[in-house]
């Protein structure tokens, strides 16, 4: 997929392999609880999930960081667990505790169906269209989904756990059952991401927040292979689609991940040396990352120094400045403003 006609998006130029100075910047979870305008929209919606499925309010929330900070990309406001909901699983959010699902077993996996999935996800796609209509061509719109392994961990445990042991145990005891769940998520994710691109997203990101708990063999089987299938499937539907992969904690196999999935950019977390990753990848793909979110909370000279180190490490390379994971609720707005000023020189 070529950049849209008339685009001046720095992010899309980077995803096409161009080194841009200063680099484009956006932040994972940039629309969220640290912004008073987000809290007002959530209160109006009534709950987090209601907000995700309210196109008018979700579009407004998606646009808030662009309007306040002038970041180079908006990312769709939604949640990785809308896929289980689209597959017919119950999903709700406990205040202050996060997502909850009815834990799925072998019988539940066998009963999964995509019937009605497109109708359940229609409000999210309307949000994409609304946002794209309000963005200038200099600002990219990023859609997203959760990677199959990460989504499966929540479906099996019914919630997030410390080390995602329930999913790892099922994969060890009944790999064929676990593989069947992964297959359902892969198929649904291809449809979902392709539909986002068709609705107006310029690129999509696949979040594998829990890939770091896998063994090297598990990482190949449950992270690389399913994400590779998603990338291939999306590009069959939307030729040239731009895809960012974010396999958190997967630096030990980053070259394999990039080579076998075919992503246009790979996100890395703050535990990774950008110098080392840049040398290992040798220009195979753009990089995205990797400021520690706690340094954004800290602010001041320590934030400036960290930003300067990242920019120096990636000078002359296709690079998207971001955090190494999502922005946290206690982040001061002034520190986000400081970060953007520093990145842009």
Task: Give 10-residue mean pLDDT values along the chain (345 residues).
Answer: 60 97 98 96 95 98 98 98 95 86 95 92 98 96 98 95 92 97 98 98 96 94 98 98 94 91 97 94 94 98 98 98 97 98 96
Task: Enumerate the active-site residues.
Answer: 29, 33, 42, 79, 154
Rounded Cα distance between 127 and 62, Å, is 9
Whole-number pLDDT of residue 251: 75
Distances (CA, A) of 196 to 86, 149, 180: 15, 21, 25
CA-CA distance, 306 to 180, in Å (whole number)? 43
Residue keyed to tokens 């499925």: 53
Taking the domains of the chain in order of start, what are their residue ranges?
A: 10-343
- Cα distances (angstroms) measured from residue 224 to each of 55, 143, 195, 274: 32, 20, 22, 21
Rounded Cα–Cα distance for residues 8 and 82 (Å): 31
Q: How far apart are alpha carbons 299 and 225 in whole angstroms?
A: 39
- Fold observed for domain 10-343: TIM Barrel (3.20.20)
Burial of 273-292, coded b for 16+ CB within 10 Å and e otherwise, reads ebeebbeebeeebbbbbbbb
What per-residue confidence (pLDDT) applies to 4? Answer: 46
Residue pair 328/34 in contact by the 8 Å Cβ criterion: yes
Residue recorded with tokens 């960081």: 65
Phi then psi for residue 99, to 5 deg, are -75, 150
Residue 162's pLDDT is what?
84
Q: What is the pLDDT of residue 2?
A: 40
Which positions ≥6 away from 152 have C-beta within 8 Å? 167, 178, 181, 182, 185, 222
Contacts of 26 (CB under 8 A, 6+ apart): 11, 65, 71, 72, 73, 74, 75, 142, 320, 322
| H or E, element range at 267 | strand 265-267
- pTM comes to 0.95
CA distance 3 to 305: 34
């Amino acid at each position: 997929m070529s950049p849209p006609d008339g685009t001046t998006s720095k992010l899309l130029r980077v995803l096409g392999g161009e080194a841009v100075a200063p680099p484009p910047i956006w932040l994972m979870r940039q629309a969220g609880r640290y912004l008073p305008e987000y809290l007002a929209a959530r209160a109006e919606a009534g709950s987090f999930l209601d907000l995700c499925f309210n196109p008018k309010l979700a579009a407004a929330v998606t646009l808030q960081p662009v309007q306040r900070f002038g970041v180079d990309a908006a990312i769709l406001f939604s949640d990785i667990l809308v896929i289980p909901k689209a597959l017919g699983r119950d999903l709700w959010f406990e205040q202050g505790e996060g997502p909850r699902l009815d834990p799925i077993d072998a019988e539940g996996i066998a009963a999964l169906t995509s019937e009605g999935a497109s109708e359940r996800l229609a409000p999210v796609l309307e949000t994409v269209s609304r946002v794209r209509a309000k963005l200038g061509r200099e600002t990219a719109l990023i859609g997203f989904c959760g990677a199959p392994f990460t989504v499966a961990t929540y479906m099996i445990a019914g919630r997030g756990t410390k080390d995602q042991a329930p999913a790892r145990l099922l994969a060890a005891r009944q790999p064929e059952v676990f593989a069947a769940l992964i297959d359902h998520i892969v198929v649904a994710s291809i449809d979902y991401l392709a539909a986002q691109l068709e609705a107006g997203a310029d690129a999509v990101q696949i979040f594998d927040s829990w890939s770091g708990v896998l063994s090297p063999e598990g990482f190949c089987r449950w992270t690389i292979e399913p994400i590779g299938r998603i990338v291939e499937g999306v590009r069959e539907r939307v030729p040239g689609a731009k895809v960012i992969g974010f396999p958190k904690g997967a630096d030990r196999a980053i070259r394999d991940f990039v080579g076998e999935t075919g992503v246009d950019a790979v996100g890395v977390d703050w535990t990774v040396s950008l110098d080392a990753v840049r040398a290992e990848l040798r220009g195979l793909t753009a990089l995205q990352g990797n400021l520690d979110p706690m340094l954004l909370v800290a602010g001041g000279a320590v934030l400036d120094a960290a930003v300067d180190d990242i920019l120096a490490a990636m000078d002359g390379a296709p690079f998207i400045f971001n955090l190494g994971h999502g922005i946290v609720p206690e982040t001061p707005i002034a520190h986000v403003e400081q970060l953007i000023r520093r990145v842009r020189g």
